[in-house]
Amino acid sequence: MTSTATTRLSPAEPGSFHRLLTKWGLPAPLFLGYVGLLLFMIGDGVEAGFIAPYMAENGAGTEIRASYVITVYGVAVMLASWLSGALSELWGPRRVMLAGLAIWLVFDALFLAVAVAGENYPLMLIFYGLRGFGYPMFAFGFLVWITAVAPVARLGAAVGWFYFAFTGGLPTLGSLVASFTNPIMGQTGTLWLSVAILGLGGLVCLLGVRERTGYQRLAPPEVKPVQSMVSSLSIAWRKPRIGIGMVVRVINTAPEFGMLVFFPTIFITQIGFGESRWLLLVSVIYGTNIFFNLIFGVLSDKIGWRTTIFWFGAIGCAISILLLYFVPLALGADYYWVALLVGALYGATLAGFVPISALLPSLSPENKGGAMALLNFGAGAAAFVGPAIVSLFLGPVGAAGVVIIFAALYVVAAVLVRFLKLPEETERAIEQDVSLQDVGGKVSTA
């Protein structure tokens, strides 16, 4: 009796879990990948709140010199963001992720054990800069894997789960871990702990995910390495909609990076919130963003990716970034709770852009890696474009003028996204509930 019950129930249990994940829009074969990604990004995000002053005290000398190290790191992140897609076409996403994990672990260990321990600034620049190739290759390599495996009809939700794990770790839970461990272990001990957490996440992902698509190259066998790398760049003008989508991705987060350059001074000093309440406001923005990444990912599969990006992302951000600046400035420090509300609104509308990671590879199913390479490059470029706009226009037009420029950019994104119409083969894939890899295979062999 017991054995009969076991025989009947055992096969049903994994099937039930599989169906539950599918219902939530999360590709069941990649489940442990999402868990590993969350741990990886927690490890990466541990340092977010204190790395610049830590470098200044341990070899850089000043926060300006520390900022140079972080700038070099940012350049590496931007290049690696592009490489993650381009190399996934040639090597397969799993191998790209393995390379990213190895780069991060090796050069972060060298950064801590050699550069920081010896207070050697040139080595800081080299080791921390090279470490910047690590997380984009791991995280965005997994994103390519997701877009290749997830059914197109549920790709928005699958991408939403990716950003839920990504932003849940960096900076949210990572900074939370540091807040508990810094008083106990010190900052150096916390940074070594982050290596362990990140390494564990990488192993969970790479050893736990057995789905075979990510183990093989995504480009057709006849495509040569140089041809594939050139293709991942030339696709921007060969398929202009991909180039337009990259611009939309830049606009998505450029104002976010830009506002963090000058908003602290305005909110802390001019409005009078003080540092602690400003930091809480930032936490509310990112905390809200985490959950809406998932909400808009799921919703976009039902109402359409372009519709979600247009209304909730582009138009929503154009309105919410104006509210985020002008409402607290008008009401003053006594209405802090209103600032929290408009901050939450901005964080939510930022998540309205999540479906762009489903939309772009769907525009070119026969060259998903190339499309993802440009998408990821746009994500990296945003970290430079936003602060560059601030540096160019803050003097001539003031803070209010810069915020209006950011709002206008979101309106431009709304116009551009109307041109991102899906090709017929992707529309058929949505109807047939198959993945982009199936579509790409059919297109590339036709």
Q: What is the DSSP letter of 412?
A: H
Q: Are 198 and 177 in contact (CB under 8 A)?
A: no
- Per-residue exposure over 309-330, b if at least 16 CB sit within 10 Å of its own CB, e if not: bbbbbbbbbbbbbbbbbebbbe
Q: Is the peptide bond before 171 cis (omega within 30 degrees of 0)?
A: yes
Q: Is 239 left (phi over 0), alpha (psi -120 to 50) or beta?
A: beta
* 334-384 per-position pLDDT tens digit: 999 999 999 999 999 999 999 999 999 999 888 888 899 999 999 988 988
Give 231's contacts (C-beta < 8 A, 6+ positions apart). 223, 367, 370
Q: Are 127 and 59 in contact (CB under 8 A)?
A: no
14-23, 50-59, 242-251, 384-393: range with lowest mean pLDDT: 14-23
Angle at 35 between CA 383 and CA 429, to 5 degrees: 80
Question: Residue 52 and residue 115: Cα distance in Å, rounded?
Answer: 15
* 5-45 per-position pLDDT tens digit: 333 333 434 578 888 888 888 999 999 999 999 999 999 99
At 172 the pLDDT is: 85
- CATH architecture, domain 229-446: Up-down Bundle (1.20)
* 295-338 per-position pLDDT tens digit: 999 999 999 999 999 999 999 999 999 999 999 999 999 999 99
At 365 the pLDDT is: 84
Mean model confidence pLDDT for the chain:
90
At 440 the pLDDT is: 60
**Which two three-digit tokens encode residue 365?**
């199913």
pTM: 0.87
Say whether pLDDT at 443 is over 70. no
Where are the CATH 1.20.1250.20 domain residues in the chain? 30-218, 229-446
Say whether pLDDT at 416 is over 70. yes
Angle between the 174-208 and 93-110 helix axes, to the nearest 10 degrees?
A: 140
Question: Residue 375 and residue 252: Cα distance in Å, rounded?
Answer: 11
* 82-116 per-position pLDDT tens digit: 999 989 989 999 999 999 999 999 999 999 999 99
Give CATH for domain 30-218.
1.20.1250.20
Place of tokens 């495509």: 223
At 7 the pLDDT is: 36
- Residue type present at position 34: Y
